[in-house]
Structure 1
Amino acid sequence: MEYTRQEIMAVAAARELRDNEMAFIGTGLPMIAAYLATFTHAPGLTLIFESGIIGAQPRGLAIGVGDFKLLSHCQKATSLYYALSLLQAGRVDVGFLGAAEVDPYGNINSTAIGDYRRPTVRLPGSGGANDIASLAKRVIIIVGHQRRKFPARLHYLTTPGFLDGGDSRRRAGLVGGGPSRVITDLAVLGFEPVSKRMQLESVHPGVTVEDVKAETGFELLVPSTIPQTVPPTPGEIRLLRERIDPEGEYLAPPQPAARKGT
């Protein structure tokens, strides 16, 4: 069954979620991934939104974290402060983040491209991302795989990953576990346990290791054996297209001539 790159990203992210976890998510692909996990292998997943909506039930895609759709049958409607307090209390198992730039140690820039005082592009900034990255037990980063988005050095460090690598995160006093996965439209990336440097975990069908290297602006660690990302199943694709995002609000439908994995 044909699928798009966005669909394999959503499926790969969903598979990183575990039943009965507490997940701090946003809109877009993180929401789609969380809904898919809830409908498949993780029915006990608790969805937390920064607006303070706790235990949201998948009943239509929201356009923002404060969308009234998220209130339907939720466990609790609280506040931004309460949602962030769950992070501070160490109760959040996993958080999703996006990025304009990601460096070799999973540090994120979402503030500015170019000089901070006179940037080429001014970006939205941290929001709650710094809290999530600092305090969640693990973090999943979802980002398109382009060389400009994977520089050796960030223009601005908005959100901490493993800082300078090694035990620098621990020495900085950050209690969360840091990034566990970076999911892109080309591959799934992880972090080498000791150096904390980014490494290749799997390549999506139709993608080569060289394709991934060419779109990465730093030297990526590549183990001797790299598996292929398990493709989405027909059931997962049907859930995405028919139940989760039937209007194609976030997942663009495949083009008639699209090849598998494109």
Structure 2
Amino acid sequence: MREVLRSEYCVIACAEAWRGAGEVLASPMGLIPSLGARLARLTFAPDLLLTDGEATLVRPDGTAEGWLPYRQHLTLVAGGRRHVMMGASQIDRFGNQNISCIGDWERPARQLLGVRGAPLNTLNNPTSYWIPRHSRRVFVAKVDMVCGVGYDRAAEHPDTARHHRIARVVSDLGVFDFGTPDRTMRLASLHPGVSVGQVREATGFALAVPDEVPYTREPTHEELRLIREVLDPGESRAREVPEGARS
């Protein structure tokens, strides 16, 4: 079997966001998170619910297995029974996320998606992030606008954030969490072939780094078979994360 690609480590890292989640709704946004959620469902998280993003619950192969009316969807979202994995145009050390604009809100240099459902997501159900290009333009000291709520802002209003939890941030360089005393971002694992120095250089704030940083876990032979033969035989994952194979 050929060596493991960086994109496949990213799929594994995203899948791990739903380990032990039980019967919750997985809402992955983007290719790599979707592959991760479907892989989790096929292996260690069989109770996971998958959605097509509209009104249907689906199996990992995309066929329908149930109906999810919008009212019930909102009940899951607002009651902590969903774990969404979103993207981020900017994210800071407390996990505040921006997908709305770059620059001043009143006169932005660039208009993006808009706030959309990010505040509701982050305050009411567990949230993770997938960032395919780790750089100082994304990992910033302060986001230009807060869309997804980070730990510092959630602490200011605890009564409105009882389900707030940022489980992990996955990038093409590694995995990050907020398991520090002040709830700032910490390097949890490196994808093989990546160094701590590379991560620090690509991050626009002081990142918490343990003395010993593990590598993102190896996929099993069965997980690789599922990724390569069942979930993504066309290898779209390698186009999203084209950095190549493990060194």
TM-score normalised to structure 1 length? 0.83
Structure 2 gap ranges (5+): none
Of the three residues 189, 202, 205, the one matched with 2:176 is 189
Aligned partner of 2:91: which letter?
A: V
Aligned counterpart, 2:164: 177
Match of 2:129 in 1: 141
Aligned to 1:58: 60
> Which amino acid in 2 is paired with 1:24?
S
The corresponding residue for 1:260 is 246
Residue 126 to residue 189, structure 1, CA distance change in 2 (3 Å): same
SS of 2:239's equivalent in the other structure is coil
Instruction: Give the match for residue 106 of structure 1.
Output: 95
In the alignment, is the contact (CA less than 8 A) between 2:6 and 2:241 conserved in 1?
Answer: no
CA distance in 2, matches of 1:221, 1:5: 23
CA contact (8 A) 2:7 2:240 kept: no
Cα pair 2:14 2:36 within 8 Å, conserved: yes
Q: How much does 1:27 deviate?
A: 3.8
Query: How far has the Cα of 1:254 moved from its partner?
Result: 9.0
Equivalenced residue count is 243
> 3-state SS of the aligned residue for 1:148?
coil
Is contact 1:109–1:154 with CA below 8 Å preserved after alignment? yes
Distance change >3 Å, CA 230–CA 177, structure 1 → 2: same
Partner Cα distance (2:85, 2:238) in 1: 18
Q: Secondary structure of the equivalent of 2:13?
A: helix
Matches within 5 A, 1:1-262: 1-18=2-19, 20-22=22-24, 23-53=26-56, 55-60=57-62, 72-79=63-70, 81-92=71-82, 94-136=83-125, 138-143=126-131, 144-164=133-153, 167-168=155-156, 170=158, 173-252=160-239, 258-260=244-246
Identity across the alignment (%): 31
Partner deviation per Cα, 1:122-148 (whole Å, 9 max, x = no partner): 111232222221111x22111131111
Structure number with higher helix proportion: 2
How far off its partner does 1:190 sit? Answer: 0.7
Aligned-residue Cα RMSD (Å) equals 2.4
The CA distance in 2 between the partners of 1:90 and 1:200, in whole Å, is: 26
Shift of residue 15, structure 1, vs aligned partner: 1.9
Partner of 1:68: none
